[in-house]
Chain A
Amino acid sequence: MNEKKKSAVSPFGRGLVKLLGSERRQNISIPLFAILLSLIACAIVVALFGKNPLTTLVCFLQGSGVLPKPEYAAHAGQLSDFMSMINALTPMIFAALAVAVALKTGLFNIGVSGQMLAAGFIASVVVGYSNLPMAAAIPLVLVLGVAVGGAVGALIGFLKHRFNINEVVSSIMLNYILEYLISFFINQYYINMVSRQSNPVSVASRLTLMGVSVGDLRLDLPLGILLAVPTAFLMRFLLDRTRLGFELKVVGLNRRAAKYAGINVGRSMVLSMLISGALAGLAGVTYYLGTFNSIQPRVLTSVGFDSIAVCLLGNSNPVGILFSSLLITIISKGGNYMSSIMNIPQEISQVLTGLILLFSACGAYIRYYAAHAREQLAEESRTAGSSAPEGGERV
């Protein structure tokens, strides 16, 4: 390294260090930087189609109701688009929280989709096809969602604790078992011959109030969001401020140390999967009895898998998840409108989601790169200060 190098740090590195700021600020600045990078990458993709990247971005925001569209059909408006986006956002928040809680305990819940399906199905059958009034139906749907999802989750935790069955395998197996079992029951008893889906649930049991007239507009009001946002804060409280949360995290960080410290590791794992499953159950009822009102047999929703990425994009932090879910839902929801206006294939919005996740996955590298550049800068300023003229030789 004895060349006449002026500085080992490129101008890019210098800029990056300044931009990202201190270690503490990096928790926010790095994800933002990653999103910025991915937007640039997406702009390049869009430009390859010969379209204006900026108008495309605006289209995404317009389609999801964040920005006003130039014109609306009767009874539709920015607010109705926005509410429809929130309607899709609700299950995503719950599902991502489910992944996060398990992840904190070092467990990987890849079975969120199956737990969602089980909860949605049981709630549909018990409440959705009954004629309970709304005041009884909605709490019951929520309770059933928590109970069924929690039961499936706890089963996975129990299998791990008692039989040492890797939770990834048992979740995948349970996903398939639930998918086929429920498909059988739907096809046999609850099929709607026209839509080839299960019969729609009653209006009273649905967690989204459809087509409510507010002024001139018709809105879909998702009640679940009123529960989803507090749940995120509740999970943060649980994980950061309670003894149970602390135990779960210790088990996740080092199982042996946890055992040595007298924590009941098996119980913690079962509890963690129970909470995770219960959250997945809430995602299920807000999805199958909220965003939609029927179940398609033999299909597992992709929400359960996308939520893994959303959770990690939010740094497994419950409050971070609120933002990452919002971002991903805006993109998927705005994709339709963008595709029709800009005449770009719909799949591009999925590619966009992929790119955002891809760059945020590199957050650790950006952090490493910035820390490295900072160290070199510090070293250079030290050598420059002591004796060496202009950069100097480094030992």
Chain B
Amino acid sequence: MNTIIIDGLAFALPLFIIAIGGIFSERSGVTNLALEGFLGFGAFVGAAVVTAITGGAFAGHETQMFLWALLFSVIGGAVFALLHALLCVKFKANQVISGVVINILATALTTFFTSQINTALFGKPTNKFVLGVCDKFTVPGLSKIPVLGSVFTDMYYFEPVIIVVALAASYVLYKSRFGLRLRACGENPHAVDAAGGNVARIRFFAVMISGALAGLGGICFAYVISASFSPSIYAGYGFLAIAAMIFGNWKIGPTLGACLLFGLARAAGYKLAQSLGLASAFSDLFMIFPYILTLLLLMFFSKTNRAPRALGEIYDKGKR
């Protein structure tokens, strides 16, 4: 049970922060299929920066390097998201196509630059940056609570970071003026315009926030899954985050529920496969578990599901 919660959270929280990124973008009315690309590119920038700083030798200052990686992933994701923002907001591009293009470009560019940087630094054109491990900690006292205590046991350092960022993000989205306008942009951009808001600017920032959060989630995935950055980061987590966001009806609270569901069901599936001692091929069967569960739950919870009204529409001032 403990390991299920520990592993489940380590998967659910990065997914959650990426999904929040998706919420920011889509609630402002910009369809975001580019999360996959954002998280990959963000993680790439973070990993590349720490590799360049340390030259691949992490011993002694892993935690410090981890924080640098986090910071630069956020920046990298935000900068890369500029492209999506420019295309969708300024150049009135089809938002779906832009998202797909950004995923293609992210895969190509990061693979290419990873091998280039590795050639320059180490003389070997590998497509992988080794990151070292992310330390874990246990909260004294709280971890002694039965069952719930395992939430506070063996936490990765990024977990509290994600929780804080998620809280800040939900404050911005639901309580600040910017958040109110952002949500209004997704429902009725003309009203925002009439009220003196700048639709283009709000959407621009929303997409950049989306990229920053996805970058943060991306580097966490890189640490927790393989302790390295490689093209295997493009395993569809961005699309999973989109699914979680839609499952959560484009709201932060329910989305957290969806992500926890994924994470815990996934960890439970792994654990079950392990404890039954079956051949490795059977683990694939247990991997299906979270997705089937989600589909079944969706049958009950989708009745009131509704996308932001102006989602995917290019804002045209003259249109009535």
Please indicate whether A and B come from the same complex rather than being unrelated chains: yes
Inter-chain contact A159/B299, CB cutoff 8 Å: yes
B53 CB to nearest A CB, Å: 25
Inter-chain contact A165/B298, CB cutoff 8 Å: yes
CA distance A170 to B303 in the complex (A): 14
Stretch from A131-139, A145-153, A198-206, A305-313 forming part of the interface with B: A305-313
Inter-chain contact B240/A181, CB cutoff 8 Å: no
Residue on A nearest B285 in the bound complex, by CB = A184
B297 CB to nearest A CB, Å: 10
Give the chain B neighbours of A361 by CB distance below 8 A: 87, 91, 93-94, 97-98, 101
Query: What sequence of 0s and 1s flags, for each residue 16-28 of chain B, a beta carbon within 8 Å of any chain A beta carbon?
Result: 0000000000000
Query: What sequence of 0s and 1s flags, for each residue 282-316 of chain A, a beta carbon within 8 Å of any chain B beta carbon?
Result: 00000000000000011010000110110011000
Give the chain A neighbours of B100 by CB distance below 8 A: 305-306, 308-309, 312, 357
Give the chain B neighbours of A212 by CB distance below 8 A: none
A179 CB to nearest B CB, Å: 9
Residue B305 is within 8 A (CB to CB) of chain A in the complex = yes
Inter-chain contact A169/B243, CB cutoff 8 Å: yes
Query: What sequence of 0s and 1s flags, for each residue 258-286 of chain B, a beta carbon within 8 Å of any chain A beta carbon?
Result: 00000000000000000000011110110
Inter-chain contact A180/B92, CB cutoff 8 Å: no
Partner of B246 from A169, A306, A348 at Cβ < 8 Å: A169
Stretch from A23-31, A244-252, A362-370 forming part of the interface with B: A362-370
Whether A351 touches B109, Cβ cut-off 8 Å, given contacts A166-B305, A361-B87, is yes
CA distance A170 to B109 in the complex (A): 30
Residue on A nearest B314 in the bound complex, by CB = A364
Residue B143 is within 8 A (CB to CB) of chain A in the complex = no
A174 CB to nearest B CB, Å: 8
Whether A173 touches B294, Cβ cut-off 8 Å, given contacts A168-B243, A361-B97, is yes
Inter-chain contact A309/B288, CB cutoff 8 Å: no
Residue A176 is within 8 A (CB to CB) of chain B in the complex = yes
Whether A173 touches B243, Cβ cut-off 8 Å, given contacts A345-B115, A348-B112, is yes
Give the chain A neighbours of B299 by CB distance below 8 A: 159, 163, 165
How many A residues, CB 8 Å from partner? 47
Residue on B nearest A166 in the bound complex, by CB = B246
Residue A172 is within 8 A (CB to CB) of chain B in the complex = yes
Give the chain B neighbours of A163 by CB distance below 8 A: 298-299, 302-303
Give the chain B neighbours of A166 by CB distance below 8 A: 246, 302, 305, 307
Give the chain B neighbours of A60 by CB distance below 8 A: none
Give the chain A neighbours of B287 by CB distance below 8 A: 176, 180
CA distance A305 to B279 in the complex (A): 32
A354 CB to nearest B CB, Å: 4
Count: A-B pairs, CB below 8 Å: 146
Whether A187 touches B98, Cβ cut-off 8 Å, given contacts A164-B302, A172-B239, A177-B288, is no
CA distance A168 to B92 in the complex (A): 23
Residue on B nearest A313 in the bound complex, by CB = B97
Residue A353 is within 8 A (CB to CB) of chain B in the complex = yes
Query: What sequence of 0s and 1s flags, for each residue 77-99 of chain B, a beta carbon within 8 Å of any chain A beta carbon?
Result: 00000000001001111101110
Whether A357 touches B101, Cβ cut-off 8 Å, given contacts A176-B291, A181-B284, is yes
CA distance A228 to B98 in the complex (A): 27
Whether A177 touches B291, Cβ cut-off 8 Å, given contacts A166-B246, A184-B284, A364-B92, is yes
A253 CB to nearest B CB, Å: 13
CA distance A164 to B314 in the complex (A): 25
Inter-chain contact B242/A168, CB cutoff 8 Å: yes
Give the chain B neighbours of A312 by CB distance below 8 A: 94, 96-97, 100
Inter-chain contact A110/B239, CB cutoff 8 Å: yes
Residue B163 is within 8 A (CB to CB) of chain A in the complex = no
B254 CB to nearest A CB, Å: 13
Question: Would you list which residues of chain B between 95 and 154 have a CB under 8 Å from chain A?
Answer: 96-98, 100-101, 103-105, 107-109, 111-112, 115-116
B298 CB to nearest A CB, Å: 5
Query: What sequence of 0s and 1s flags, for each residue 363-383 of chain A, a beta carbon within 8 Å of any chain B beta carbon?
Result: 111001000000000000000
Whether A350 touches B104, Cβ cut-off 8 Å, given contacts A170-B298, A176-B288, A345-B115, is yes
Residue B292 is within 8 A (CB to CB) of chain A in the complex = yes
Give the chain B neighbours of A180 by CB distance below 8 A: 284-285, 287-288, 291
Residue B225 is within 8 A (CB to CB) of chain A in the complex = no
B123 CB to nearest A CB, Å: 16
Residue B191 is within 8 A (CB to CB) of chain A in the complex = no
Inter-chain contact A353/B104, CB cutoff 8 Å: yes
CA distance A65 to B51 in the complex (A): 42
B173 CB to nearest A CB, Å: 21
Inter-chain contact A173/B291, CB cutoff 8 Å: yes
Residue A347 is within 8 A (CB to CB) of chain B in the complex = yes
Inter-chain contact A362/B91, CB cutoff 8 Å: yes
A307 CB to nearest B CB, Å: 9
Query: What sequence of 0s and 1s flags, for each residue 53-96 of chain B, a beta carbon within 8 Å of any chain A beta carbon?
Result: 00000000000000000000000000000000001001111101
List 18 A-B residue pairs with CB atoms under 8 Å apart, sorted by A's residue number. A163-B302, A163-B303, A164-B305, A168-B246, A169-B294, A174-B291, A180-B285, A181-B284, A188-B281, A305-B103, A312-B96, A345-B112, A347-B108, A348-B112, A353-B104, A354-B108, A358-B87, A358-B105
Binding site for A on B (CB under 8 A): 33, 87, 90-94, 96-98, 100-101, 103-105, 107-109, 111-112, 115-116, 236, 239-240, 242-243, 246-247, 279-282, 284-285, 287-288, 291-292, 294-295, 298-299, 302-303, 305, 307, 314
Q: Which 10 A-B pairs have the closest CB atoms?
A: A350-B108, A187-B281, A361-B93, A347-B112, A184-B284, A354-B105, A312-B97, A365-B91, A361-B97, A180-B287
**Known contacts A176-B287, A345-B116; can you find 11 more A-B pairs with CB under 8 A?**
A159-B298, A164-B303, A168-B242, A169-B247, A173-B291, A177-B295, A308-B96, A351-B105, A354-B101, A354-B104, A362-B93
